Chain A
Amino acid sequence: MINLTNIEKVYRTSSIETLALNNINLNIRKGEFVSIMGPSGCGKSTLLNIMGLLDEPSKGTVELDGQRVSTYHDKELARLRNEKIGFIFQSFHLINDLSVVDNVEIPLLYRSTNGKPRQTYAKEALEKVGLSNRIKHFPKQLSGGQKQRVAIARAIVGKPEIILADEPTGNLDSAMGNEIMNILQGLNDEGATIIMVTHDETMAKRTHRLIRLFDGTQVQ
């Protein structure tokens, strides 16, 4: 499903060059639930960004469903992200000026889905994460766990095959973290491929496979 070959990522400023990822080779199969662990600054989020087509590698190739994406232009990459990938972020990244339902609708806006079906799909996604009673609320009126559930609803509303979660439980207490993890596991059971960055060993143990990074290199 996702195939990374010899991935290298270097961040350059005028005076410093930092190697964030070094020779990463990785193959994520359809339906897998994979966790990525490692100390802070080891390149976990960078790796996730590259897999999610949010960032480009300095070297190496990224293949999605057998297709090399390095030659794709902005419009094609945007379409791929929109149709195939859903993102969940540690700090939720909800748009505070939009209501819960409007936030969830965002991926559908870029598919030209009409207003009525768009709202129906968004409500269905919110129902799935147990937030159908909060559709008119605004992010500021929600707790951390509720925000993350909105973010999950937004990630799944377009029914993507892949969900990339960057420390989805990182800002939550353990009870809420467990709840979020249950939702992710449920999605994986329904067939979604999930790649999750986490610091939490117990969460990582609930996934099919664990990838460990250290100083930009894959160690396990």
Chain B
Amino acid sequence: MLTNYIKIAWKVLLRHPFYTFITLFGISLTLTVLMVLTSFLDHLFGSHYPETKRDRSLYVMQMRTQDSTRTGSSSGPMSFKFLTEYAKSLKTAERVTICTFVNSSNAYVGSQKIKLNTKYTDADFWEVTEFDFLEGKPYNEQNIANSDLVVVITDDFKKQYFGNVAESVIGKDVEIESIHYRVIGVVRGSPVTRPFTYADVYYPYTTPKSNYQRTGMRGGYVAILLAKKTSDLKTVRDEFQSHIARIPLPGVEDGYKYAYVEVKSEPYVENFVGTLNGNKGLKTVFFGIIAFIMLMLIGLPAINLVNVNVSRIMERASEIGIRKAFGAPVRTLMWQFIIENIFITLIGGGIALVLTLIVIQLINSSGIIAYADLTINLNVFLVSLLVCLVFGLLSGVLPALRMSKLKIAEALKS
């Protein structure tokens, strides 16, 4: 039966090449956009270099304090001291890293200024993440204890600062903001879309200007809590919350009297969405825009395809009449047209897959997003396949319904 349907679908495609071209062009273009979008979302939220352990990581990004009436609130990253006391002390976590978000600095090569993104981290940063060391090694606890002026740099920065040199730059001097550092390691950089790991230069937190000694709860640091396994995430989160619950309340921070403190440890996606939590309206707008974009991307082409399909199906009234006359129930015929439509959509999906591979290759090599590593992995492929099926189903059901209403005798006359 399925072979018969597919044979027919194929013949219908060949019957009007121009019609088919327009249909497949529309489907392929729509699905390409959706696949590239899926690939980008996977790039944003999936477990990729150097955050390959995201599936068992919790992100602690900000602290939120509120006054006693809960009318005013203040939020932002935390101090190194605070995270050491409340996060580093976790017993259920395999490891905890504390680092800053991205800071800006400048370096000079002769008179040429290089704008830099820098990050202060502890030694555990290199264990929680999985950077590829192209040269040298990461700094360790000893370097940190000694306040050694050492840095790990990215291959991109190496190229900018030292030129296109093939030899190792380990042990060489780098001057940033008038301070001389010794290069201890060179890594393949992290994409800018991964702010917990992205930087050009990584310093030990005991180097100058890190403000790690700052007292109080607020500062410029965030943390990643690495669980031993994914199933331990809840235990780690619970322990972290029990630590947070120990914060003495009420308190005063920089003159602000707070009565409530909220610090969340969440998986990456929730953490990202959670940044919108403070403003319910903003969250609604965010998801509203996403829903609207998805509707535009799937809905409008689907409606267009419905129109094309309706006219194509009506062209086949005689065939419908024949099938009904020889015993095809309405439901079976509806399935036939839906399957045919899904088949066509899957062909469009195949073309879209090739186009997507080309587009993401272009994005990756264009440098629009530094170190972009968009891919079509199994997740992206499965989501894309699902999108194809939904698209095929959406654009096939209505024409099939129209067809099912045809009277046999009338259909045979056409």
Contact = CB atoms under 8 A, between A and B. Distances in A.
Q: Is the interface of A mostly helix, strand, loop or mixed?
A: helix
B12 to A, nearest CB: 7
Nearest to B8: A97
Contact of B322 (A49, A93, A158): A93
A79 B327 contact: yes
Contacts of A75: 329-331
A115 interface: yes
Nearest to A93: B322
Contacts of B408: 49, 54-55
A81 interface: yes
Interface string A78-110: 110111000101000111011000100111011
A111 interface: yes
Interface in B296-333: 318-319, 321-332
A82 B322 CA distance: 11
A87 B325 CA distance: 8
B327 A78 contact: yes
A55 B321 CA distance: 11
B11 interface: yes
Q: Of residues B319, B324, B327, B328, which shows the largest number of chain A Cβ atoms within 10 Å of its Cβ?
A: B327
Interface string A102-138: 1001110111000100000000000000000000000
Interface in B390-414: 407-409, 412
Q: Of residues A52, A106, A154, which shows the largest number of chain B Cβ atoms within 10 Å of its Cβ?
A: A106
Contact of A106 (B318, B323, B409): B323
B412 A93 contact: yes
A78 B409 CA distance: 14
A87 B326 contact: yes
A55 B407 contact: yes
A75 B408 CA distance: 14
A89 B324 CA distance: 14
A94 B332 CA distance: 19
A75 B404 CA distance: 12
Given A93-B318, A95-B319, A81 B325 contact: yes
A52 B326 CA distance: 10
Interface residues of B, number: 26
Nearest to A154: B326
Given A93-B318, A93-B321, A78 B4 contact: no
Contacts of A201: none
Interface string B98-126: 00000000000000000000000000000
A81 B409 contact: no
Given A55-B409, A97-B7, A109-B4, A74 B329 contact: yes
Q: Of residues A93, A115, A154, which shows the largest number of chain B Cβ atoms within 10 Å of its Cβ?
A: A93
B11 A97 contact: yes
Contact of A110 (B3, B11, B327, B412): B327
A81 B327 contact: yes
Interface residues on A, range: 20 to 34
A65 to B, nearest CB: 16
Nearest to B408: A54
B331 A107 contact: no
B327 A98 contact: no
A111 B325 contact: no
A98 B8 contact: yes
Contact of B8 (A74, A81, A95): A95
B325 A54 contact: yes
B249 to A, nearest CB: 69
A110 B331 contact: no
Contacts of A105: 4
B1 A109 contact: yes
B326 A102 contact: no
Contacts of A46: 409
B15 interface: yes
Contact of A78 (B1, B12, B328): B328
Nearest to A87: B325
A52 B408 CA distance: 11
Contacts of B4: 98, 102, 105, 109
Contacts of B325: 52, 54, 81, 87
A154 B1 CA distance: 16
A87 B1 CA distance: 21
B412 A54 contact: yes
Contact of B12 (A49, A97, A154): A97
A82 B333 CA distance: 14
Interface of A: 46, 49, 52, 54-55, 74-75, 78-79, 81-83, 87, 89, 93-95, 97-98, 102, 105-107, 109-111, 115, 154, 158
Interface of B: 1, 3-4, 7-8, 11-12, 15, 318-319, 321-332, 407-409, 412
7 contacts: A54-B408, A78-B324, A78-B328, A82-B326, A97-B8, A105-B4, A109-B4
Given A74-B330, A93-B318, A102-B7, 5 more contacts: A46-B409, A49-B409, A81-B324, A81-B325, A154-B326
